[in-house]
Structure 1
């Protein structure tokens, strides 16, 4: 089953795109950005004593290009979201993330936050792993060296340590029902007539999945569902079903559905989702603390250089900076 390309209507696609973007972004940025032409051609922006270089932007853009194209396909750059092109939407998130990392390093320096020996060793290991994963052509195209990547891993690690320090005392509670992950099968029809026909077939004894496979236009009929992913009408109905139960007909937008619950609690997935929700709550708590500080910082931004970046035309590197970072620091 193509998990992310269901016939669940436009609401599902928009939610999934938003979640994917947020998952990449990880940090909300609230700094005041001032456009300038006073920075050199290698500098994207400056905040306090922190500068972001073209190499750093290239690395994060490559990560984003890989993620979005693997998730949605190479034509994603021709799509729109929230009234702007996906290209501009993604660039805004990358810019926000890079600014946030730099602002966190400004505060970390003020607080005297430094890496311990283990973290320093991990920076060195991560740097070597990243550089080894690059082809010679990529190294040449990025104009990148070990010093650049070591600096990036160091700043990301310091930001992570600051985050951990500032959220270590945050009390996070997540209920079992809030984290619950379920598996459903569904029938989707474009008209009340077609959904009534499907309902009649099920009532007469036809297999649910057989009717779903024939009725759904893409042949897909099963979905693993978390709270907050779908239209609330669909979600509320699905989460109120017990294993083996089938819903009545519901309408979401212009689509009609019948839902069957295959599992009302996938325990392994529920535990993983609980950890994800806890991480999100910690992030929200961090933002509550950090945003007022961040908003006080002045960011000089080189819009002329930034405007030249096109994710659709950027290099898709064989190395993934954030995956390697997470393997050593998460």
Structure 2
């Protein structure tokens, strides 16, 4: 069940001090109004359900003290992810409203599946968490139904849309790369960059390897001669999009690599990680290219849907009850049951 929860959170994310008191399950945390009409009230227990999922998902990777850590601007990660959580709730609920206005509903079979998932899910939450947050079968069933309707409406909406990806720019090629690194890493993972004579020695090693290639040795033979694993020398990659070029963008490598034809290898090239000799094995890796194009199209469709949500949002005003919202925190004793233990009584 927790894997299903993680999958749901991941799908939604593609759009986009401990609490000593107890939650009041019936209290309204968020109200969505259209002009003067209240279209939807969202209870604190529903928001706590999201908080429980966020807490479990992120602490499993970063630990319980993650929430008090800050980004470069000094904002805590709790504040950042509470805002992300709020945006996800808004996205789902706006879609539910749009679906209702269009007359779309779940089938009886879909509703029954949501209720069955809720009956299974409630056993995965600690009893104390249920009491504190007000999360019960009904709350989770509503969450499941909302998300099912969200997926149904979104799928139908996107089926009418067509997007075009830059297929030439997404072409993926196979390369064999001999890399003579310009740094060393110790057991603690600390990096020391070579300078002076050490760096010259690395360059000389790369030049000697290049001479071996010119004498008739293959890339695989040279790799083995320098204790490199030929399998680890293989790389499938494409050109880095302009808007994705950050401090790790290796312009020298890409210029050398994509100037090659199949079978050709480059001279010794100074790249970010050291001195490289690059061979183009195959200009087009059909499978990886198709995958890259499909992924790009999915991202474009996600952007289309996000724009649609932004247009929907213009019709509504969302009110947040500060007292209820502030009481919801990732820094509190709420938990799923340990998968290897029984539910605590």
TM range (shorter): 0.5 to 0.7
Question: Cα 1:40–1:120, aligned 2, differ >3 Å: closer, same or farther?
Answer: closer
The answer as to 2:106 corresponding to 1:115 is yes
Distance 1:153 1:266, change over 3 A: farther
The range that moved more, 57-66 or 295-304, is 57-66
Structure 1 residues 266 and 139: CA distance shift in structure 2, 3 A? farther
Give structure 1 stretches of 5+ with no counterpart: 1-20, 29-38, 214-219, 321-330
Select the structure that is richer in helix: 1
Give the distance between the partners of 1:74 and 1:230, measured in 2 at CA: 33
CA distance in 1, matches of 2:15, 2:79: 18
> How far off is 1:54 after superposition?
2.0
Q: Secondary structure at the match of 2:319?
A: strand
For residue 152 of structure 1, report the CA deviation from its aligned partner: 0.9
Q: Which residue number in structure 2 is paired with residue 25 of structure 1?
A: 13
Q: Distance between the aligned counterparts of 1:269 and 1:53, measured in 2?
A: 45
Would the aligned equivalents of 1:123 and 1:150 in 2 still touch at CA under 8 Å? yes
**1:250 alignment partner, one of 265, 271, 276:** 271
Unpaired segments ≥5 residues, structure 2: 1-8, 17-23, 34-38, 184-192, 210-221, 340-345
1:52 and 2:52 aligned: no
Q: What does 1:150-165 align with in structure 2 at a 5 Å threshold? A: 150-165=141-156
Q: Quickly say closer, same or farther: Cα 1:167–1:25, change in 2 above 3 A.
A: same
* Deviations 1:306-325, CA, capped at 9 Å, x for gaps: 223332435343599xxxxx
Contact kept in structure 1, 2:29 and 2:43, CA below 8 Å = yes
Per-residue CA deviation, residues 13-44 of structure 1 (Å, 9 max, x unaligned), is xxxxxxxx99763335xxxxxxxxxx997222
How far the C-alpha of 1:169 sits from its partner, in A, is 1.3
How much has 1:46 moved relative to structure 2? 0.7
TM-score by length of 2: 0.63
Greater CA drift, 90-99 or 66-75: 66-75
Given the alignment of the two structures, is residue 126 of structure 1 paired with residue 117 of structure 2, yes or no?
A: yes
Given that 1:202 and 1:208 are in contact with CA atoms closer than 8 Å, whether structure 2 keeps it comes out as no
Structure 1 position 284, deviation (Å): 0.9
* Post-superposition offset of 1:259: 5.9
Residue 326 (structure 2) aligned to one of 292, 302, 307: 307
Q: Of 202, 208, 233, which residue of structure 2 is paired with 1:198?
A: 202
The answer to whether 1:65 aligns with 2:69 is no
1:292 match: 311
Aligned partner of 2:163 in structure 1 is 172
- 1:89 corresponding residue in structure 2: 80
Q: Distance in 2 between matches of 1:161 and 1:107?
A: 11
Q: How many residues align?
A: 280
Q: Secondary structure at the match of 2:135?
A: coil
TM normalised by structure 1 equals 0.65
User: Retained in 2: the 8 A contact 1:130–1:319?
Assistant: no
- Cα shift at 1:288: 2.6
- Distance in structure 1 (CA, Å) of the matches to 2:141 and 2:336: 17
Which stretch of the first structure deviates more once superposed, 97-106 or 224-233? Answer: 224-233
Superposed CA offset, 1:289-310 (max 9, x none): 3312212311111123222333
Structure number with greater Rg is: 2
Pairwise CA distance, 1:173 = 3.6
Structure 1 residues 257 and 127 mapped into 2: Cα distance closer, same or farther (>3 Å)? farther
